[in-house]
Amino acid sequence: MIRLIARRELTELWRDGRLAGAGGLVALLVCAALAVGWQRQHEIAAERTAAQVLDYDDWVSQQERHPHDAAHQGMHVFKPEPALAIVDPGIEPYVGSTIWLQAHRQSELKFRPAQDATGLQRFGSLSAAWVLQVLGPLLVIVLGFNSIAWEREQGTLRQVLSLGVAPRQLFWGKAVALGGAVTTLLVPCFVLAAAAVLYASSAAPVPALARLGWLAGAYALYFGIWVFVVLGVSARVRTSRASMTTLVALWIVTVVLAPRVIADLSRRWQPTPTRTEFEREMQHDLNEEYEHAWREQFGTSVRWGPDLPLDKWGISLRVDDHAGYGVTDEHFGALWDTFAAQRRFQEWAGLAVPILAVRSFSMGLSGTDFSHHRNFSVAAEQHRRVMQDLMSGDLIEHADPLKDRHFAYQADRELWRQVPRFVYDAPSVGWALRESWPGLLVLALTCALSAAAALAAVPRQRML
Amino acid sequence: MLDAVRVTKEFGPKRALDDVSLSVRGGDIYCLLGANGAGKTTLINLFLNFLEPTSGEVRINGRDVATAPLETKRDVAYIPEQVMLYGVMSGLENLRYFAALATGEQRTRTQLLDLLASVGLDTAAADRRVSTYSKGMRQKVGIAIALAKNARALLLDEPTSGLDPHAASEFSELLKRASASGVAVLTTTHDLFHATQTGTRVGIMKQGKLVEDLSNDDIAHADLQALYLRHMRA
């Protein structure tokens, strides 16, 4: 019975041109966004890989020089562009892509792609994820707004129910048809995305495809929510015009307005310091820690003062660096934890505004969310510490016994080569799921709740 | 087959049906007459369980409609004043769909064309989209759906309203054939001529009450028009 109803619904959607018109347009847009995403990801990945190789080559081909000079020059590490950025670039365009691993301090990522984008480029940077998250619900609305309301207006609903068809069977038939229509349109997009991701992740295709599979599941839940919302409204209101008006209003509120309001609320709930405040507070704590470490190790609170013997410069660099590690970890950790708390707030708000949950999960599984960004930052900082420790270690090893020629010492490529290449292993699918599970859970809960609400809107009398 | 037992239906302060009892047996064609708002359609809606009675009981084939809504609907076919079909589908596709919903069986094209032919719709018309159909043609598809369902009772809500005399006459013949095969027919109508020509029993409703319940013999002897007008004027 449900299959029969679904087949008729699909026939009608096909014959009245909505499936081919609106559906085809959205599918085309997703495919275009995937093509643009693939090109962008391909170019960025190639650029960063090449830049990483060149930067390391620069490091190892330095001339003979003082190790601390070399540490100050440092090196750069480039964040690899994940394969699934083809689907969802997430926060990638708005956070930096490069970290300068320099002496003494942990740097933030710099060179944000969005900084260099012209207004026109920003308009053109639509992603497949954006089309699915923002335009996808509109497609479901266009396909289903009159699904029940129009039948009620036309009188075919009476005709069908008089045959002994249970209203809920009719509802499920329509839900299957609407879901089927969306699936039919999006399966080719998914296949295209899989092909692009496969190409972009040829070295490790399985984890990337697994991530894509999870993404498909999350988007299925997201569209499921909208299918039930659309059918619920269509069953509840008296006319198809009222149904369209209600659903478009709902789309404006939950897709356009509420995400901005909730993002703002999350920042009020878990405020983040300004850059100046953050740096001032961290510097204050660093100074205290440095003072403590210098007093304990060298009996002075004046860092790098004239009373520090030149043969102690190596060890003092190490002491100074190590004194700061805990403080920077604590400050950056607290800042990043605040961002994570804001994200959790927004994910749970997905119970009322599902786009927030799907957005978070989509970025998470695409590897373009803040958790992945943090993971990369931590890995880069670890590499910086390895490099700094090697430079300080060399100075300790070659401490100036005469106490007058510390700055004349020069290391050579032998030392530079001891610093390993920076190799970043992207986190596993399991790690991404552990970071992003609330989004998926919220989507599943919201889907179940919207199905229950829609079914409650379909009692017998209201159908007529 | 169709029984209303002391049925009352109220919509807020308005009483649409007031203690109505009637019974339609297999082979009966019960024509329910009455002015607009007399409660005829409300009674049909109660049989279809589209409404619930405020008091009393509505039964189809001995089963209470309120407690077995889906099962009782399997025994009846309903033809409204305007048979509403899906405009983007042909008459044949509509029949295939509704018949499959009603019976759970998929019929062949030949079987469906035979059904449509039996109600006077030829193959060319059957393959046309319903959006191009006249009201009479839609009614014919509605009857074909009822025939396909092979129901034991027919509920008809002003089925001949708006039909031309030829189509109305054809429709009456179809009802008589159904009745002859033991089907119980309950039809509402404004058409006194149709009621006398087709009905084996006639009821007159006024302000929610069943004020007359005439049998075959009564109809033959009574001046139905005079009786009807007397009730309407009173």
- Torsions phi, psi of B181, nearest 5? -90, 10
Measured in angstroms, the CA of A1 and the nearest CA of chain B are apart by 6
Measured in angstroms, the CA of A156 and the nearest CA of chain B are apart by 5
Q: Residue B139 pLDDT > 50, yes or no?
A: yes
Helix H or strand E segment including B60: strand B55-60
- Per the model's pLDDT, the better-predicted residue between A303 and A406 turns out to be A303
**A163: chain B residues, CB-CB within 8 Å:** 73, 78, 98, 101-102, 149
Q: Do B85 and A159 touch (CB under 8 A)?
A: yes
- Per the model's pLDDT, the better-predicted residue between A111 and A450 turns out to be A450
Give the span between the Cα atoms of A205 and A208, in whole angstroms: 5
Question: In the 8-state DSSP scheme, what is residue B51?
Answer: S
Measured in angstroms, the CA of A155 and the nearest CA of chain B are apart by 6
Least confident residue range of A148-152, A228-232, A363-367, B216-220: B216-220
Give the span between the Cα atoms of B42 and A321, in whole angstroms: 88
Structure tokens, A427: 């986190």
Tokens 């008589």 found at: B176
Measured in angstroms, the CA of A150 and the nearest CA of chain B are apart by 11
Measured in angstroms, the CA of A114 and the nearest CA of chain B are apart by 49
Across the range A78-91, mean pLDDT stands at 86
Q: Do B80 and A1 touch (CB under 8 A)?
A: no
Measured in angstroms, the CA of B82 and the nearest CA of chain A are apart by 8
Q: Residue A120 pLDDT > 50, yes or no?
A: no
Q: Do A460 and B50 touch (CB under 8 A)?
A: yes
Q: Do A164 and B100 touch (CB under 8 A)?
A: no
Q: Do A155 and B101 touch (CB under 8 A)?
A: no
With a pLDDT cut of 70, the percent of chain B lying above it is 97
Q: Do A460 and B82 touch (CB under 8 A)?
A: no
Give the span between the Cα atoms of B38 and B205, in whole angstroms: 6
Which of A11, A159, A161 has its CB closest to that of B89?
A11
Across the range A65-72, mean pLDDT stands at 80
Q: Give the pLDDT of residue B109.
A: 92
Which of A1, A162, A166 has its CB closest to that of B48?
A162
Across the range A176-205, mean pLDDT stands at 85
Q: Give the pLDDT of residue A81.
A: 83
Tell me which residue of A189, A174, A180 sits closest to A26, measured CA to CA: A189
Angle, helices A2-15 vs B91-103, to 10°: value is: 160
Which of A160, A461, A464 has its CB closest to that of B101?
A160
CA nearest A2 in B: which residue?
Answer: B101
If interface means Cβ-Cβ distance under 8 Å, which residues of chain B face chain A?
48-51, 69-71, 73-74, 76-78, 80, 82-86, 88-89, 93, 97-98, 100-102, 104, 149, 155
Give the span between the Cα atoms of A238 and A229, in whole angstroms: 16
Across the range A454-458, mean pLDDT stands at 85
- CA distances, B27 to each of A10, A89, B4, B178, B201 (Å): 40, 72, 17, 8, 11
Give the span between the Cα atoms of B188 and B190, in whole angstroms: 7
CA nearest A169 in B: which residue?
Answer: B101
Least confident residue range of A201-210, A309-318, B43-52, B80-89: A309-318
Q: Do B51 and A461 touch (CB under 8 A)?
A: yes
Measured in angstroms, the CA of B92 and the nearest CA of chain A are apart by 13
Q: Give the pLDDT of residue A118.
A: 46
Average pLDDT in chain B? 85
8 Å CB contact between B33 and B189 = yes
Q: Which residues touch A311 (CB under 8 Å, ≥6 apart)?
A: A399, A400, A401, A403, A406
Give the span between the Cα atoms of A366 and A84, in whole angstroms: 5
Average pLDDT in chain A? 85
Tell me which residue of A366, B99, A48 sits closest to B107, measured CA to CA: B99
Q: Do B89 and A163 touch (CB under 8 A)?
A: no
Across the range A112-129, mean pLDDT stands at 58
Q: Residue A92 pLDDT > 80, yes or no?
A: no
- CA distances, A108 to each of A95, A119, A334 (Å): 9, 26, 15
Across the range A261-290, mean pLDDT stands at 87
**A170: chain B residues, CB-CB within 8 Å:** none
CA nearest A157 in B: which residue?
Answer: B84
Across the range A429-451, mean pLDDT stands at 94
**A11: chain B residues, CB-CB within 8 Å:** 88-89, 93
Q: Do A155 and B82 touch (CB under 8 A)?
A: yes
Q: Residue A408 pLDDT > 60, yes or no?
A: yes
Across the range B123-131, mean pLDDT stands at 90
Give the span between the Cα atoms of B13 and B57, in whole angstroms: 20
Measured in angstroms, the CA of B231 and the nearest CA of chain A are apart by 32
CA nearest A154 in B: which residue?
Answer: B84
Q: How confident is residue A450, by pLDDT bands cut at 50, 70 and 90?
A: very high
Question: In the 8-state DSSP scheme, what is residue A234?
Answer: H
Least confident residue range of A104-113, A175-184, A248-257, B3-12: A104-113
Q: Which residues touch A180 (CB under 8 Å, ≥6 apart)?
A: A6, A10
Taking only the tens place, the pLDDT of each residue in A35-62 is 888 888 888 888 888 888 888 888 888 8
Please tell me whether residue B148 adopts helix, strand or coil conformation: helix
Q: From edge to edge, which strands make up the β-sheet containing B55-60?
A: B14-24, B2-11, B55-60, B63-64
Q: Residue A192 pLDDT > 90, yes or no?
A: no
8 Å CB contact between A112 and A93 = yes
8 Å CB contact between A109 and A98 = yes
CA angle A159/A165/A169 to nearest 5° reads 125
Concatenated DSSP letters of A203-229: TSHHHHHHHHHHHHHHHHHHHHHHHHH
Helix H or strand E segment including B118: helix B109-118
| Chain centroid, CA A168 distance in Å | 39
Across the range A64-80, mean pLDDT stands at 81
Q: How confident is residue A317, by pLDDT bands cut at 50, 70 and 90?
A: confident
Tell me which residue of A356, A375, A370 sits closest to A440, measured CA to CA: A356
Concatenated DSSP letters of A289-355: HHHHHHHHHHS-SSTT-TTS-GGGHHHHHHHHHHHHHHHHHHHHHHHHHHHHHHHHHHHHHTTT-HH
Across the range A13-32, mean pLDDT stands at 85
Q: Residue A121 pLDDT > 90, yes or no?
A: no
Q: Give the pLDDT of residue A173.
A: 93
**A165: chain B residues, CB-CB within 8 Å:** 101
Q: Do B50 and A165 touch (CB under 8 A)?
A: no
Q: How confident is residue A124, by pLDDT bands cut at 50, 70 and 90?
A: very low
Give the span between the Cα atoms of A5 and A16, in whole angstroms: 17
Tell me which residue of A207, A187, A188 sits closest to A197, measured CA to CA: A207
For the entire predicted model, the pTM comes to 0.84
Measured in angstroms, the CA of A462 and the nearest CA of chain B are apart by 10
If interface means Cβ-Cβ distance under 8 Å, which residues of chain A face chain B?
1, 4-5, 8, 11-12, 15-16, 154-156, 158-166, 460-461, 464
Q: Residue B97 pLDDT > 60, yes or no?
A: yes
**A464: chain B residues, CB-CB within 8 Å:** 50
Q: Give the pLDDT of residue A6.
A: 92
Q: How confident is residue A406, by pLDDT bands cut at 50, 70 and 90?
A: low
Q: How confident is residue B222, by pLDDT bands cut at 50, 70 and 90?
A: low
Give the span between the Cα atoms of B105 and A28, in whole angstroms: 39
**B93: chain A residues, CB-CB within 8 Å:** 11
Least confident residue range of A369-373, A400-404, B168-172: A400-404
Q: How confident is residue A89, by pLDDT bands cut at 50, 70 and 90?
A: confident
**CA diameter of chain A:** 105
8 Å CB contact between A318 and A396 = yes
Best residue of B101, B132, B157 to probe chain A, by most A CBs closer than 10 Å: B101
Best residue of A10, A156, A159 to probe chain B, by most B CBs closer than 10 Å: A159
Q: Do B50 and A5 touch (CB under 8 A)?
A: no
Give the span between the Cα atoms of A40 and B172, in whole angstroms: 73
Which of B49, B74, B86 has its CB closest to that of A156?
B86
- Torsions phi, psi of A191, nearest 5? -65, -40
Q: Residue A18 pLDDT > 50, yes or no?
A: yes
**A156: chain B residues, CB-CB within 8 Å:** 84-86
Q: Give the pLDDT of residue A123.
A: 43
8 Å CB contact between A175 and A37 = no
Tell me which residue of A80, A92, A78 sits closest to A127, measured CA to CA: A92
Q: Give the pLDDT of residue A122.
A: 47
Q: Residue A117 pLDDT > 70, yes or no?
A: no
Q: How many interface pairs between A and B have CB atoms less than 8 angstroms apart? A: 67
8 Å CB contact between B176 and B7 = no
Across the range A17-22, mean pLDDT stands at 85
Q: Give the pLDDT of residue B221.
A: 59
Best residue of A163, A174, A461 to probe chain B, by most B CBs closer than 10 Å: A163
B108 burial type by CB count under 10 A (0-12 exposed, 13-18 middle, 19+ buried):
exposed
Give the span between the Cα atoms of A175 and B153, in whole angstroms: 32
- CA distances, B192 to each of B34, B93, B130, B161, B229 (Å): 10, 35, 30, 12, 11
**A166: chain B residues, CB-CB within 8 Å:** 70
Say how many residues make up chain B: 234
Taking only the tens place, the pLDDT of each residue in A336-395 is 898 889 889 988 998 999 999 999 999 999 998 989 988 998 898 888 888 888 888 888
Q: How confident is residue A402, by pLDDT bands cut at 50, 70 and 90?
A: low
- Per the model's pLDDT, the better-predicted residue between A379 and A91 turns out to be A379
Q: Give the pLDDT of residue A134.
A: 92
Q: Which residues touch A211 (CB under 8 Å, ≥6 apart)?
A: A84, A365, A366, A367, A429, A432
Most confident of A217-231, A260-274, B128-142: A217-231
Tell me which residue of A92, A87, A36, A52 sits closest to A198, measured CA to CA: A87
